[in-house]
Amino acid sequence: MTGYRSGVPDNWFVDPVQLGVPGVRRPLEGDDGNPLGWQTDALCAQTDPEAFFPEKGGSTRDAKRICTTCDVRDQCLEYALQNDERFGIWGGLSERERRKLKRRAG
């Protein structure tokens, strides 16, 4: 036999989604049809949930600080806006801040 190589190298195919080709949408992570699927990566689930739903007038500083390092912050905020979540900190924003954002967007 000569040095003929048959077979296709494993890496011949480059997935356009992996490459980030414009127009090819990267599927949302955790998007398995469950609108709350992103919550599996929610940082607040591993911390004190009460910080995210403080009593009236309570501090939201700790919760907001956690949100700044959360991987699913965008999905969280979007979910809260779409579902009109009224209470608690979502995506790093308080009720009042979300209302303001909605007014500006609308």
Binding-site residues for [4Fe-4S] cluster sit at 44, 67, 70, 76
x/- mask, ligand SF4, residues 86-105, rule CB under 6 A, reads ---xxxx-------------
Residue selected from 30, 43, 85, 101 as contacting ligand SF4 according to rule CB under 6 A = 43
* Spacing of C-alpha 67 from chain mean position: 11
**Window 63-82: residues binding ligand SF4 (CB under 6 A):** 66-67, 70, 72-73, 76
* Side-chain half-sphere exposure of 97, counting CA atoms within 13 A: 11
Residues paired with 93 in a beta bridge:
90
**Minimum distance between the CB of residue 24 and ligand SF4, rounded to whole angstroms?**
27
User: How many Å apart are CA 67 and CA 23, to the nearest integer?
Assistant: 30
